[in-house]
Amino acid sequence: MRILPVPAQPDQGTPPTVNPQSTPPVPPPSLPVRKVLTMKKPFRAGEYAIEKFIQSVAIISLVLIGLIFVFVFREAYPLFTGKVLAAAPQAQVEEAETYGVDPGAPDIVEAPELEQNQENFKPSSLVGPSWQPVSLDPKFGLWSLLAGSLKVTLIALLIAGPVGIFAALYTSNFAPKWAREGMKPAIEILAGFPSVVVGFFALVIMASLLQNIFGFQYRLNAFVGGVAMALAVVPIVYTVSEDALNAVPKVMMEASLALGATRWETALFVILPSATPGIFAAMILGFGRAFGETMIVLMATGNAALLTASLTDPVRTLSATIGAEMAEVVFGDTHYRVLFFVGALLFMISFSLNAVAEFFVRNRLMKKFKGA
């Protein structure tokens, strides 16, 4: 604590560290001290209120995560208590004809002889191969949808991963200045393409082109969806990888060059390995994006819930199922709740992927370079 004499006019022009209101400790007897300067922040009600207001607005993002989980899961919850039809009468009231007309993709309905009572929905019936929500004997097996999502995601990552990572390596290490300045905004533009535009492009142009090249039996299939999805995933993989590559300390590159390694050897064997955690994070985030993306798969994959091993069959993904079917369900019935359950599943997957990318990978990357 510093104690200083202050001139008679208080307040105006005094630094914020001054506290005119605070009770002065016993001043040294010899000096006529009127005010005491402390390093303690003065209390101001207005400032306090503003800070609390700003803080509470900032907490919205935090609360939102919880709310999203609660409200998506809330609609799916009755599936697990078996009270699915209890909500149905109310559903008729809420079923306003306002959800657009959506015939959806035709489901392959075989109506096998299997008894299932809608009133006692068993959560275990979610584990099954066939997804036939609108038939006399509805089935809500999620395997085919999950397989569809995984197929499209896998294809997208197999294409977008290498392209994004190598493109990042190129612009961060090899590219001449003009190429770098041109490519970065171009890839940002690619990131800015609405997914519905990419979906349209895949549906109208790419599907026919790929069918002509590879001779697919079905024009729209998992492969077309995956390639289109790669267009949406490349910018993410590129951006995060590039950040990781640029975060590698310059001294490492210089040391490598000083030892006589060439530029490309340095890039491939020094910089790329050092950035591995960041690149891993890039792939995880790309996976999350591809797994949850809706419009591209809705438009380009054919939307048939088939459980096959082929990558060139039509598929229906988890996200596309919600997008296509939510418009036609009756509020509160089993189908409606299962779709919300699928949404909760997507939420949990993206949440955990992000947590992994965040805590595990980025922290490790940071520690590694701080240690270096």
Partner 1 sequence: MTRTKSIIGKAVVSFTGLCAFSAVAAVVWIMGTIVWGGHSHLTWAFLTQAPAAGMTEGGILPAIVGTFMLVVIMSLVGVPVGTITAIYLSEYTSRGSKLANFIRFAVNTLAGIPAIVFGLFGLGFFVQFTGGTLDRLFSPEGKLVWAQPNILWASLTMALLTLPVVIVSVEEAIKTVPRELREASLALGVTKWQTIWRVVLPNSVGGILTGAILAVSRGAGEVAPILFTGAAYFLPNLPHGFTDQFMELGYHLYIMTTQSTDVEKTLPIQYATTLVLLLLTFALNFGAIFMRYRLRSRRVAA
Comparison of 214 and 264: residue with beta carbon closer to partner 1: 264
The number of residues that bind partner 1 (CB under 8 A) is: 106
x/- string (CB under 8 A) for partner 1, residues 38-57? ------x-xx--xx--xx-x
Instruction: For residue 218, give the nearest of 306, 330, 350 by alpha carbon.
Output: 306
> How many CA atoms within 13 Å lie on the side-chain side of 269?
9
Least Å distance, CB 357 to partner 1, is: 8
Work out whether 98 is an interface residue with partner 1 (CB under 8 A).
yes
Work out whether 131 is an interface residue with partner 1 (CB under 8 A).
no
Work out whether 295 is an interface residue with partner 1 (CB under 8 A).
yes
Concatenated DSSP letters for 143-173? HHHHHHHHHHHHHHHHHHHHHHHHHHHIIII
Cβ-proximal residues to 336 (8 Å cutoff; 6+ apart), any chain: 75, 91, 326, 329, 330
Comparison of 138 and 332: residue with beta carbon closer to partner 1: 332
Comparison of 148 and 235: residue with beta carbon closer to partner 1: 235
For the record, the structure tokens of 371 come out as 């240690």
Work out whether 354 is an interface residue with partner 1 (CB under 8 A).
yes
Three-state SS at 134: coil
Site for partner 1 in 73-92 (CB under 8 A): 74-75
Instruction: For residue 36, give the nearest of 53, 20, 49 by alpha carbon.
Output: 20
Cβ atoms of 298 and 324 closer than 8 Å: yes
Least Å distance, CB 94 to partner 1, is: 7
Helix (H) or strand (E) segment spanning residue 291:
helix 276-292
Work out whether 225 is an interface residue with partner 1 (CB under 8 A).
no
x/- string (CB under 8 A) for partner 1, residues 254-293? --------xxxx-xx----------------x--xx-xxx
Work out whether 64 is an interface residue with partner 1 (CB under 8 A).
yes
| Calpha distance 305→128 (Å, rounded) | 12
Work out whether 247 is an interface residue with partner 1 (CB under 8 A).
no
